[in-house]
């Protein structure tokens, strides 16, 4: 028994000595791999950062950000209720500075108006699920509940997947961007997508429904008033869609919305003066 203990101690001491002697050698041997791994991670981060467009180059418009708006007034102290909800990262991406062919992208921002067709909760659940297939990936930047609550989903500096095959026909001609060899061109790279929750009688594919609440119109106008995107670049999903299958937002009172938008912008200008 004593002999076995001595042998075991000798073995342990031998291993310790070997490790001490070899540790510099091992360190030198694995150093290149660590360097490569670190460089690889750093490069991936740099590539991601490089892909982000500079605001003054690609997104010159002022975009709405959550929770910190000034209290613009049409009604004194108007401020809708606001929420921030996380969306799964598979359902949005970076705004890119070049298209698939390497051409610089310089489109001014547009606003695309949508409706959920289903409930707000159903839409949010969809956005929070991981969607691995390109055709299933979908999101808005903002959703407005029937009670007027503004729900922020995708950060405005990111690219929400609100429109598939789409083009904006503006005063300077057709505008669209292709970023993928498989997917069709889209307005997503320069669009801010805002959706209204559909009423209960609009939870389907009918041509119209009872419309949106006064609270929704007020919150939508208030939201867009925080931007400097001109009225000529505010459009609808139906207008930009190339598939012919999108009709939202159905039963939308354009005149009512733009009147409220004008009032809010005037109030904001007077407040800033």
Looking at residue 235, what is its pLDDT?
A: 97
Residue 58's pLDDT is 42
What values do phi and psi take at 74, rounded to 5?
A: -110, -50
Task: Please give the Cα distance from 88 to 43 (Å, whole number).
Answer: 24
The pLDDT, as a whole number, for residue 14 is 52
What is the per-residue DSSP string for 122-146? HHHHHHHS---SGGG----SEEE-T
Per run of 10 residues, the mean pLDDT along the chain (length 273 residues) is: 47 44 38 35 32 36 57 59 94 96 95 96 95 86 97 94 95 94 96 97 87 96 92 96 92 97 90 75
The helix-helix angle for 254-272 and 214-225 (nearest 10°) equals: 50
Give me the pLDDT at residue 66, please. 60
Q: Is 198 helix (H, G, I), strand (E, B) or coil?
A: coil
| Half-sphere exposure at residue 196, Cβ-oriented, CA atoms within 13 angstroms | 32
Per-residue pLDDT, 195:
98
Q: Where are the domains of the chain?
A: 1-51, 61-272
Which ranges of the chain would DSSP assign to H, the alpha helix?
2-51, 55-58, 120-128, 214-225, 237-240, 254-272
Q: What is the pLDDT of residue 70?
A: 41
Residue 91 to residue 132: CA distance in whole angstroms: 9
Report yes or no: 185 and 101 within 8 Å, Cβ to Cβ: no
**CATH number corresponding to 61-272:** 3.40.80.10
How far CA 122 is from CA of 79, 116, 147, 210, in Å, comes to 25, 9, 16, 20
CA distances from 15 to 2, 11, 25, 195, 226 (A): 20, 6, 15, 67, 69
**pLDDT computed for residue 9 by the predictor:** 52
Q: What is residue 114's predicted lDDT score, i.e. its pLDDT?
A: 97
Give the 3-state secondary structure of residue 249. coil
Neighbours of 158 (CB within 10 A): 16
């Amino acid at each position: 028994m004593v002999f076995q203990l001595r042998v075991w101690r000798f073995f342990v001491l031998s291993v310790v000595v070997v490790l001490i002697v070899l540790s510099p050698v091992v360190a030198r041997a694995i150093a290149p791999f660590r360097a490569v791994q670190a460089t690889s991670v750093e490069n991936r981060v740099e590539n991601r950062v490089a892909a982000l467009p500079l605001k003054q180059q690609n997104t010159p418009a002022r975009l709405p950000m959550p929770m910190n708006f000034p209290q613009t007034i049409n009604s004194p102290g108007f401020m809708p209720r606001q929420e921030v909800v996380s969306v799964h990262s598979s359902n949005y991406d970076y705004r890119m500075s070049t298209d698939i062919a390497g051409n610089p992208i310089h489109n001014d921002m547009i606003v695309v108006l949508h409706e959920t067709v289903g409930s707000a909760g159903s839409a949010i659940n969809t956005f929070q699920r991981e969607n691995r297939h390109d055709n299933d990936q979908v999101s808005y930047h903002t959703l407005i509940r029937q009670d007027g609550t503004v729900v922020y989903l995708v950060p405005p500096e990111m690219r929400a997947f609100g429109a598939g095959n789409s083009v904006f026909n503006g005063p300077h001609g057709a505008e669209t961007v292709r970023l993928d060899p498989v997917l069709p061109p889209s307005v997503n790279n320069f669009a801010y997508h805002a959706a209204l929750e559909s009423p209960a009688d609009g939870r389907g594919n009918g041509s119209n429904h009872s419309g949106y609440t006064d609270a929704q119109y007020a919150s939508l106008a208030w939201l867009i008033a925080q931007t400097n995107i001109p009225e000529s670049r505010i459009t609808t999903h139906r207008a930009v869609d190339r598939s012919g299958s999108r009709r939202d937002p159905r039963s939308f009172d354009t005149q009512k919305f733009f009147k409220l938008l004008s009032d809010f912008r005037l109030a904001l200008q007077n407040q800033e003066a």
